[in-house]
């Protein structure tokens, strides 16, 4: 094993310090909608299905913030949702993983540079995670806009 393999980079991203600016469906459609803002940031727009009903769902793009917006549908707390790309209809459900907190399915969004964001599909569950593949490069990028001191 060389040095690189032994070092596991665990990135603990501070809540509300970063937000997603580009998120894509598996077919490459941009999901960030600049016309809808949550806390001043462009929201992530997806199609939602729950018990045969359809609506739009705007995901809060700020990491660690959950002020999502429902449009045309009312979703009770605890509801397990299905999310789709509004452009091509592809399912955003992660086929392989489930929530570590409540075992509901997860949704997954693709980020630039092979990163992903995944989150629990149960409304009200706070589990979500950002996985950055080129970790070192990505961390440098994330920290660029802020001073290091605020993380120490």
* Contact positions vs Zn ion (CB under 5 A): 25, 27, 29, 85, 87-88, 99, 101-102, 104, 120, 122, 125, 127
* Helical ranges in 60-147 per DSSP H: 135-144
**Residue 6 CB, nearest distance to Zn ion (Å)?**
32
Q: For the CB of residue 87, give the shortest distance to Zn ion in the complex, in Å.
A: 4
Surface-to-core class of residue 104, CB atoms within 10 Å of its CB (0-12 exposed, 13-18 middle, 19+ buried) = middle
Nearer to Zn ion, 19 or 122 (CB): 122
What are the residues facing 50 on neighbouring strands? 53
Q: Is residue 9 a contact partner of residue 3, using CB atoms and an 8 Å limit? A: no
Nearer CB in complex with Zn ion: 90/140: 90
CB of residue 120 to Zn ion, shortest distance in Å: 3
CA dist 55 and 75 (Å) reads 10
Residue 104 vs 139, nearer CB to Zn ion: 104
């Amino acid at each position: 094993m060389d040095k690189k393999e032994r070092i596991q980079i665990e990135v603990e991203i501070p809540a509300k310090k970063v937000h997603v600016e580009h998120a894509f469906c598996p077919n490459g459609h941009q999901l960030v909608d600049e016309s809808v803002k949550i806390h001043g940031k462009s929201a992530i727009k997806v199609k939602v299905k729950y018990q045969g009903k359809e609506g739009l769902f705007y995901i809060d793009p700020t990491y660690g913030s959950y002020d999502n917006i429902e449009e045309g549908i009312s979703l009770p707390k605890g509801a397990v949702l299905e999310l789709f790309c509004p452009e091509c209809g592809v399912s955003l459900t992660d086929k392989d993983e489930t929530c570590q907190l409540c075992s509901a399915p997860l949704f997954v969004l693709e980020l630039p540079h092979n990163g992903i964001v995944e989150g629990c599909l149960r409304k009200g569950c706070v589990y979500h995670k950002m996985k950055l593949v080129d970790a070192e490069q990505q961390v440098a990028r994330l920290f660029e806009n802020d001073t290091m001191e605020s993380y120490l």
